[in-house]
Amino acid sequence: MQANRPGEIIRFLLECQALKFGDFTLKSGAKSPFFIDLGNVRTGRQLDVLGEFMAEAIRDRFPETTIIFGPAYKGIALAVSAATSYWRLSGRDLGLIFDRKEAKAHGEGGSYIGTQPTASDRVLIIDDVLTSGLTKREGIDSLRRSFGVASADILVVVDRRSKSGAATDDLQFSSLLDIHALSEYLAETGDTRAELIQKWWETA
């Protein structure tokens, strides 16, 4: 399985119903002809397949990673599957950390669970989608405040930004799939929704 084959990833997301086409209203209130819901990747086999895609991307794009951070909530399962698959793929045992939506005052307490980074660690944030980049920047800022992490990279499954979407020049960022790859795949397979996706990218 090669993580640089968008068609395989798209077919997988369709199989899991994690990629849907229709008339959707996003959290921002904007309209979209497609919707990404990685919460539908919800079985052991499905998470294993997605984990392999992400592990190959880590190997090829972020080889200096020492710790994977999965933001609550969807990022947690993605980070676990990526870390497990990366161990199987490379033999490198990466640390794993995730956060709580609300800090815990009892027991071990705190806002984070797992391997605590140091300033020398290279942290990779793994999440489902990139829309504005705001939550990713907030995650990086929190890691810096909490652990003194100098920098963090970002890997998402889908970069769903439109042409006018937020810039990510300040982020070390990569995705398994973006809108161009989705539109090209649909066009290659004779799916008329390719034009709809391309038009959305240009005008949204």
User: pLDDT at residue 131 above 90?
Assistant: no
pLDDT at res. 3: 44
User: Closest Cα to residue 38, out of 69, 65, 71?
Assistant: 71
The structure tokens listed for 161 are: 């930004």
pLDDT at res. 134: 82
pLDDT band at 68 (very low <50, low <70, confident <90, very high): very high
Instruction: Specify the amino acid at residue 66.
Output: T
Say how far residue 38 (Cα) sits from the centre of its chain.
9
Percent of residues, the chain, with pLDDT higher than 70? 94
pLDDT band at 2 (very low <50, low <70, confident <90, very high): very low
User: Closest Cα to residue 161, out of 142, 141, 182, 140?
Assistant: 182
pLDDT at res. 175: 96
pLDDT 10s digits, 173-183: 999 999 999 99
For residues 179 and 159, is the Cβ–Cβ distance under 8 A?
Answer: yes
pLDDT at res. 193: 93
pLDDT at res. 27: 78
pLDDT at res. 46: 98
How much is the average pLDDT of 149-160?
94
List active site positions: 104, 106
Higher pLDDT among residues 146 and 1, named by residue: 146
If phi over 0 gives left and psi between -120 and 50 gives alpha, with beta otherwise, what is residue 186? Answer: alpha
For residues 145 and 112, is the Cβ–Cβ distance under 8 A?
Answer: no
CB atoms near residue 158 (< 10 Å): 25
pLDDT at res. 106: 53
Domains identified in the chain and CATH numbers: 6-203 (3.40.50.2020)
How much is the average pLDDT of 59-66?
97
User: pLDDT at residue 145 above 60?
Assistant: yes
pLDDT band at 189 (very low <50, low <70, confident <90, very high): very high
pLDDT 10s digits, 78-124: 999 999 999 999 999 999 999 987 765 555 557 999 999 999 999 99
pLDDT at res. 1: 41
